[in-house]
Chain A
Amino acid sequence: MATQTSAPKPSTTAHVMPARFVITKPVRNFVRLLFSYGVLTFGALFMLFPVFWMVTSALKPEWQIFIRPPIWIPQYWEKTPAGDHVALLNLWEAENPATGNTEIVIELGTRGYAPMVPIGELSDLYVVPESEISSSSYTKTINDTKINVRKWNDQEVAPVYDDKRGNLVVVLVEDLKETVAIMPLDTGERGNLQIDNMRVSTRLVETEDGSITEMLILFPNFKLTTLLDSDAAKQARLVPASEIGEFEVMPLDQTKTKQVTLNGAEDGERYVVISEASWRPTMQIDYLAQHAFTVDETDIVLEDEPQIFNLGVFPVGTYTDADGNAQEIAVVLSREVSEDETILVMPIEHMDAVELAPSSSLLRPFPETISHSTVRVKDFTRPTVREESIDFDLLGEKVGILGDRQDMMLTIPASAITTAFDIDENHVSRKTHIYLRWSNFADALSRELGGADFLHFIRNSVIVTTLGIIGHLLSCTLVAYAFARIRAPGRNILFALVLSTMMLPEAVTLIPTYLIFRDLDMIDTLTPLFIRDWFGNALLIFLLRQFFSTIPIELDEAARIDGANRWQVFTRIMLPLITPALATVTIFTFLWRWNDLFHAKIFLNSPKNYTVAIGLSQFVGAYEAEFNLLMAAATVAMLPTVLLFFFAQRFFIEGISMTGLKG
């Protein structure tokens, strides 16, 4: 319902009340509800978001942790094998303007465009302080060309340059007329125009009659991406840069692509270059260790021409051992590449195990000695950094990095490009699907910290928690029942004492407590973390006593008359009646013991005795940048408490409402 005020109208008759702005009750209620839900939602986002972010981060591969803009839901960027399966191409989604269908495509290249106008056609260029010009711009279509336009003293102007110090160079929109057109930014030669201290860049374009026209660049600039149906990726090939013959930049549709011919290819077939990158040959390390051996330079005779094994280029030759046996070998680490100037060779029949991997995936290798040579080894058993961007059979293995880096080009035959189309780059989106990386949890749980892993910490926490709960249940119920039902001198004073210890800061007893445990030789055992629970807890005794007090005393008396002794009354009648309270005791003890970092920090020294809380705190330093694993560990630490909370919320709320127990 609208709540607009209307201007009070002069009353025509004297006895009519003057019109007054009144908010009716339904409106007020509606506004109040809207406000309430709004504020509550905002607060709920604050409460939920950190947990959401932690849990989703726990399910991401490492690279998605660092990427900007942030990825909210863990996702997989879909890829398609490029022909020979060594390389992968990103898949994108875009609407084909020709068919109107959304297609799954690969990217061939991009090209920048802008509206341009010949300078000669303009009456003048104006330097305008930004303050004199409207701050908002809008789009105007002139000659089928969209142009960003702003207002300057009622005139429409199009900015061509911004010196970022408060001055703009503009042209009058009325000058543009038919001469403005969209042109690629790489048209012609680059030029520039000096206006005051500003250099406005231009393009010098050759016209049909051979003269040069200087073009001024207007806004907006935009990029067109050439996309190709993803099926064409099957025809892609990874080609060594050395095989490239001549190349030229050729326009393809509206987009410029790099087209090449290959040495030895028939009839000058042209290929479009999709990407250029450096690759390295690799081999599974155990296989390498089994078959490769270090040789003296004098024992090998190399052939002139290197040989290619699975796209990897290696010098080949003959090795003759001390007994005079000769065998064909390939040099997998040459003296120049090897760190300790040794030569590592491998019998030619085993060279099929070579796999090419992109150099960008082989960062942070570690050295390992094979035969007498040092081989740099990349561990893919726990691939973390952008491991999705590589696809080769050795993923999940440790691989040795061999040979020299090789520049490779990923190409597609120009003849395969039949369905390409151009589209504004903003209308292209990655083809993704939700992908939850559950293996992070396995990685986090098995990560070792001083000889113990996270599963071990969980086991310790379970022990502490269970023994704490049993201790509290036994001791607190007994004590609380006695305070509620058994009469004795001093009872009230003692109960006052119970209450007074509820607010006692723990710190004040901490040091002597530590000394007691030290004298009992219990430091660095789990005992100090739960043993005090066997002596009761003031808050819980108070809570249970309140519960016992609500049970009618007639129940006890009736049972006593029937011959039950006090113990039987307690176990058979009272305890069953206060099960909800027992649940509260169990839950809170669980929470306190599971979450207890401070005492674990004080009483435990060795990782084998760590509980989840202290283990997690130690992981903060140990994980460094592996936030996905750290978040996985934190999620594991949080999970039991949150699950318990959802299943037993009632008892939490009851306990808190009655005593102010805190989680």
Chain B
Amino acid sequence: MLKISNPVVTWKRLNPAMRQEAIVFYIWISPWLFGFLLWRAWPMVDSLYLAFTDYRLLNSPNFTGLDNIRTLLDDEQFWKSLRVTLMYVVGTVPIGTTIAMGAAMLLAQKLKGVNFWRTIYFMPSVVAGVTVAVMWSFIFNPKFGLLNVVLEWLGIKGPAWLASETWALPALIIMGWWTRIGTQMVIYLAGIKGIPKVLYEAAEIDGAGAWAKFRNVTVPMLSPTILFNVIIELIAAFQIVDPPLVLTDGGPNNATRLYVFNLYETAFEFSKMGYASLLAWILFIIVMILTMLTLEISKRSVYYETEV
């Protein structure tokens, strides 16, 4: 078989055998290609178009120019949902990722039963969002929930949690930690295992203590993993929708109106498909900006190993 040093090939330079292979390639990837066009490319274009229309499911879409954007600027519900989502993201991602990294660091030591601990920490990640919501709603129940019982033992009168405007979002954030720590921890563990032992040995010879080793070896070597985790978590946290969908309906007084829940309600409860498409595109833009921002910020602090 012919070996090509440069894998980039163009149709013109193909001999018949290679041309046939290229055709075979396109036949094999056709499910994805067709799916990409139908479920990704077309919907992206379509929703961009709908974002500038008054489409409400029963009428045919009319192009309304910047009307939707004007509505958006005055839409208190939208700004509220954006604020709530940002608070949710800030509450879950940094703390969650720190806890996950801490757990991974602990497990990376020579401890007994690493698998056992890992199993426990990871297990919540496989539990469905709706089950998590149902399970925690029982713990958060103001009257007979366990959390308030425990608080009472400590002499604290617990809040109404999901029914309280102040405490509903923190309750959702705690649920968020619970579900998201395990996955991140596994990724951190893999990252930590990938750090060459020689680096630690070298640091020890230089007289580095535990903190110095953490600061100068672990963190830089782990920074691509941290970055990866943070990006994934940011994107995921921005799109969390199950808890308000199952428990709070965005309330009380919009305190848990997470972004995608707001979008869902706008589109599928109030049938404002055009306006909801705009919301979807704003989310898309926010996620893209966040991702790029994270990449940009970390360019300075992330250490990528050049040799593998």
- A-to-B contact residues, CB < 8 Å: 32-33, 36-37, 39-40, 43-44, 46-48, 50-51, 53-54, 57, 65-66, 68-70, 474-475, 478-479, 481-483, 486-489, 491-492, 494, 497-498, 501, 503-516, 532, 534-536, 541, 557, 560, 566, 591, 594-595, 597-598, 601-602, 613-614, 616-617, 620, 627, 630-631, 633-634, 637-638, 641-642, 644-646, 649, 652-653, 656-657, 660, 662-663
Contact = CB atoms under 8 A, between A and B. Distances in A.
A488 B25 contact: yes
Given A591-B126, A645-B126, A487 B9 contact: yes
Contacts of B267: 510-511, 514
Given A489-B14, A662-B236, A535 B34 contact: yes
A489 B10 contact: yes
5 A-B pairs with least C-beta separation: A535-B35, A595-B128, A512-B43, A488-B22, A482-B28
Contacts of B97: none
B302 interface: no
B18 A47 contact: no
A178 to B, nearest CB: 40
A50 B247 CA distance: 17
B86 interface: no
Interface in B104-118: 106-107, 109, 111, 117-118
A535 B38 contact: yes
Contact of B33 (A494, A516, A631): A494
B127 A641 contact: yes
B36 A501 contact: yes
B129 A511 contact: no
B168 interface: no
Given A535-B35, A660-B187, 20 more contacts: A32-B109, A36-B109, A40-B107, A57-B138, A478-B28, A478-B29, A482-B25, A489-B22, A492-B8, A494-B33, A503-B291, A505-B287, A508-B44, A512-B50, A535-B39, A597-B245, A616-B131, A634-B131, A637-B131, A663-B126
B222 interface: no
A494 B26 CA distance: 10
B120 A44 contact: yes
A367 to B, nearest CB: 30
A512 B37 CA distance: 12
Given A53-B139, A488-B26, A489-B11, A478 B31 contact: yes
B9 A488 contact: yes
Contact of A51 (B4, B39, B121, B127): B127
B181 interface: yes
Contacts of B167: none
Contacts of A646: 119
Nearest to A594: B128
B28 A50 contact: no
B126 A616 contact: no
B182 to A, nearest CB: 7
A495 to B, nearest CB: 9
25 contacts: A36-B106, A40-B106, A40-B117, A44-B120, A48-B120, A50-B139, A54-B138, A70-B149, A475-B32, A479-B28, A481-B28, A487-B4, A489-B14, A507-B283, A515-B46, A535-B31, A560-B1, A598-B242, A613-B129, A617-B134, A620-B246, A627-B141, A638-B127, A645-B122, A653-B186
B134 A620 contact: yes
Contact of B283 (A51, A508, A634): A508
B183 to A, nearest CB: 5
B146 A53 contact: yes
A602 B284 CA distance: 20
B21 A532 contact: no
B232 interface: yes
A598 B130 CA distance: 10
Contacts of A57: 138
B103 interface: yes
B135 A634 contact: yes
A660 B47 contact: no
Contact of A47 (B181, B228, B236): B181
Given A487-B18, A512-B46, A638 B128 contact: yes
Nearest to A534: B31
| Interface residues of chain A: helix, strand, loop or mixed (majority) | helix
A7 B284 CA distance: 65
B125 interface: yes
Contacts of A475: 31-32, 35
A30 to B, nearest CB: 13
B280 A43 contact: no
Interface in B161-175: none
Contacts of B118: 653
B255 interface: no
A487 B7 contact: yes
Contacts of B124: 47, 50-51
Contacts of B183: 656, 660, 662-663
B40 interface: yes
B247 A620 contact: yes
A512 B126 contact: no
A474 B28 CA distance: 11
Contacts of A488: 9, 21-26
Given A494-B33, A504-B40, A598-B242, A486 B21 contact: yes
Contacts of A491: 7, 25
- Counting chain B CB atoms within 10 Å of each CB, the highest count among A489, A497, A591 belongs to A489
B103 A642 contact: no
A405 B45 CA distance: 73
Given A66-B144, A620-B246, A597 B130 contact: yes
A537 B182 CA distance: 23
A474 B22 CA distance: 20
A655 to B, nearest CB: 10
B31 A50 contact: no
Nearest to B266: A511
A507 B279 CA distance: 9
Contacts of A44: 117, 120-121
B121 A47 contact: yes
B127 A602 contact: no
Contacts of B229: 660
Contacts of B287: 503, 505
Contact of A486 (B25, B38, B138, B238): B25
Nearest to B33: A494
Given A51-B123, A482-B25, A656-B186, A535 B284 contact: no
Nearest to B233: A662
A557 B242 CA distance: 49
B303 interface: no
Interface string B89-102: 00000000001001
B221 interface: no
B117 A498 contact: no
A488 B129 CA distance: 42
Nearest to B190: A657
Contact of A601 (B109, B141, B264): B264
Contact of A507 (B14, B29, B263): B263
A479 B29 contact: yes
B42 interface: yes
Contacts of B241: 598
A513 B126 contact: no
Contacts of B283: 505, 507-508
Contacts of A510: 43, 47, 263, 267, 280
Contacts of B102: 39
A469 to B, nearest CB: 15
A657 B293 CA distance: 24
Given A479-B28, A482-B29, A40 B103 contact: yes
Contacts of A657: 186-187, 189-190
A37 B264 CA distance: 43
B239 A541 contact: no
Contacts of A617: 130, 133-134, 245-246
Contacts of B33: 494
A652 B187 CA distance: 11
Given A70-B146, A475-B32, A613 B128 contact: yes
